[in-house]
Amino acid sequence: MSTAYKVLLCSGNKVGAIQNIALLKTTYQSSYYDDILPNSSVLAVDGSRKADKGSYCILTGAQTYTWWEVDLRRSYYIHKLAIYFRTDYRDRKPDVTVYSSLSVNQSNAGHWCGNTTANSPDITHLTCDDTARYITLYRNSIMDFCEVEIYVCDPGTFGDDCNQFCHCLDGPCNYTTGECTGGCKQNWTGNTCSVCDATHYGQFCGGDCSTRHCKNASSTCDKTTGRCDNGCTAGWVPPDCNTRCSQDRYGQECRSMCKDRYCHGVSNNCNHVTGECVNGCDRGYHTIDCTSKCQNSYGFNCNMSCDARRCLGSKECDVFFGNCTSGCQAGLELPDCILGM
């Protein structure tokens, strides 16, 4: 059987763990009912929540007062505990009083955690908020119940349901307040070390504000998202501008498509910032990403001037080959009338 029973609690996108520290710990009780095996006090910490039959539960003798106690073996800050009462017989549910203490108690003394009534639920939760090693259940007459669970937060969690997280440098935080007494782990700050410091952001404060690619270098750094106030420089994706454009896109806000470029030859590479064609542009196009048509020029990378041709008639210039539609001046060749015959 496991030596630690845990309950997972979800709150939004956070998950906390409550540990039952009573599981399989040493137990005692004042007496045992007739025909009940000695040492059956352990039934209340065996990890079984079955409560529909007396054989799953502890049962004390019929005395003026009775008690049951668990030794947690060391001191814990105990926030809550739960008592699982029998569901097949409820007459002994009222008037159970619970105490916590640092030393063996076995009486109606110590720190009072609460008591039960006839209207208490079959699973009764009580709040101790006390540092203790021993938990004692006391009643003025015969007593029975099926399981006692005593809860502390897993290290690194705190709060009423252990669903808040602290990031202390040395040891766990206070289970209730979350206070870290020895400082915070790297990138964290605050009394509970649960807030990113001035230069980091994100769920685990793993984002570095200085590595973002913001349009404005002095952009603020939101502690949750790292959002850049004025958007990203070319090639990067909001909100924190730390993710490149997908492989098929590039440029400002990743609006440009790699497939729309007119690169010379095969160009599988697509720079996420500029979309540069490594082998230059095909006929009729220029600029670094080869998406703009030639203006008063033609050919590969628009490297030929329309004005340099010697055409007959029309001065219009085809951006691909610089065609002279009405022929060339004497001694020159079509299509662009640059070369001689």
Render pLDDT for 211-220 as a digit per residue (tens, 0 to 9).
999 998 889 9
Q: Are 84 and 68 in contact (CB under 8 A)?
A: no
Quickly tell me which residue has 């095996």 as its tokens.
37
Residue 111 bridge partners (DSSP): 100
Q: Where in the chain is the domain with CATH 2.60.120.260?
A: 5-153
Instruction: Supply the DSSP symbol for 121.
Output: -
Q: Which residues pair with 225 in a beta bridge?
A: none
Q: How many residues does the chain have?
A: 341
Residue 161 pLDDT exceeds 90: no
pLDDT class for 1, splitting at 50, 70, 90?
Answer: very low
- Predicted confidence at residue 191, as pLDDT, reads 94
Instruction: Output the pLDDT for position 164.
Output: 86
Residue 15 has what pLDDT? Answer: 44
C-beta separation of 230 from 216 below 8 A: yes
Query: Which pLDDT band, with edges at 50, 70 and 90, does 3 fall under?
Result: very low
User: Of 150, 189, 191, which Cα lies nearest the Cα of 174?
Assistant: 191
DSSP secondary structure, 148-206, as one string: EEEEEEPTTEESTTS-EE--BSSSPPPTTT---SS-B-TTEETTTT-EE-TTEESTTS-
Query: What is residue 259's predicted lDDT score, i.e. its pLDDT?
Result: 94
How far apart, in whole angstroms, are the C-alpha atoms of residue 180 and residue 193? 7
Which of the listed CATH numbers 2.60.120.260, 3.40.720.10, 1.10.760.10, 2.40.110.10 matches domain 5-153?
2.60.120.260
pLDDT digits 0-9 by tens, 143-158: 999 999 998 888 888 8
Please tell me the predicted confidence (pLDDT) of residue 12: 36
What pLDDT is attached to residue 17? 63
